Amino acid sequence: MQKRKLGNGGLEVSALGFGCMGMSFSYGPPKDKKEMTTLLHAAVERGVTFFDTAEVYGPLINEELVGEALAPYRGKVVIATKFGWEANPGDVGRWSALNSRPEHIKQVAEESLKRLRVDAIDLYYQHRVDLNVPIEDVAGTVKDLIQEGKVKHFGLSEASAKTIRRAHAVQPVTALQSEYSLFFREPEETVMPTLEELGIGFVPFSPLGKGFLTGKIDADTKFDSTDFRNTVPRFSAENRKTNQALVDVITAFAETKKATPAQIALAWLLAKKPWIVPIPGTTKLSRLEENLGATNLSLTADEVQSLEEASSKVKIEGARYSPFHQSLVGR
């Protein structure tokens, strides 16, 4: 597995990370803990060193799963987690209010350390920008935690370029985590120039378009009642039918490379910038191995351009979030 560096602070991780959210949250009911532990071990054995979780996934149970499963690999893996919500146990499938007040950050950092079974959080993201707390106060609080040895690197999620600059001036930001894929390319205009200028890594979540770019979802697919895609306008049956045109473009390109659509979608991200590290999630070993196959695919500049030209002709229908979640991004 190739390695990549996130930011200028020397954080080195596998070129492809692992998004752990779906094991406990958002994509149907929580999965079997023993099976997910085996899968996380399989990921490490195949060279993955970068794992992503959050306090609110579950809430709390995803951090517990990741902490317990990866305990045998302390010092060999990088675990990222997030703060910024009132993560109340029992609020399964729901998100509570934002809270990035300094005293709250310090409290939940201690709790995440215990669940993750680590002495320091490798990468600590603000999950969503809280307009009630100046970003300078948030960055300053994480800076304190870094000085105390409880956090190693600071990250932001779904923040605007302006907010990134303000935070970075107080405590260098190692990585931004935001949605980015052939299904959603807006970050190329809004944040990537700023990341490149400041030397900040980019960690795309939903690099497979919440599963859509795998080619395994169509207009007739039925999601579990607890699957959050039921609330996403882009995933209405009508919009899936229209958006299938993008999957068709990627599938046709994949056939020329003897690859799968998912592998092409990931290889495209890896080809965009050397400081991009996608974090696809899965609950199946076969999908993990398929995703990792993308690291052996190299797309030329001409191939990237060809894929982008063909895919940009498809007009994507539907917002990527419900109105509430949409209001929390790009702030």
Residues classed as catalytic: 57
At 68, which amino acid appears? E
Provide the H-helix boundaries in the chain: 33-45, 61-69, 102-116, 135-147, 161-170, 187-190, 192-198, 237-256, 261-272, 285-292, 301-312, 323-326
3-state SS of 145-205 is HHHCCCEEEEEEECCCHHHHHHHHHHCCEEEEEEECECCECCHHHHCHHHHHHHCCEEEEE
Q: The dihedral of CA 316, 317, 319, 322: what is its sign?
A: negative
Tokens at 284, concatenated? 């199946």
Q: Which residues pair with 227 in a beta bridge?
A: 27
d(CA 54, CA 36): 16
Q: Residues 266, 19: contact at Cβ < 8 Å? A: no
Enumerate residues 6+ apart whose C-beta is below 8 A from 186: none
- Comparing C-alpha atoms, which of 248, 252, 276 is closest to residue 181? 276
Map tokens 């007009």 to a residue: 315
> Do 22 and 283 contact (CB within 8 A), yes or no?
yes
Contact between 294 and 267 (Cβ < 8 Å): yes
What is the dihedral sign for C-alpha 304, 11, 295, 284? negative
End-to-end CA distance of the chain: 35
Nearest Cα to Cα of residue 7 among 142, 176, 131: 176
C-alpha distances (whole Å) from 280 to each of 13, 86, 180, 193 are 14, 25, 11, 23
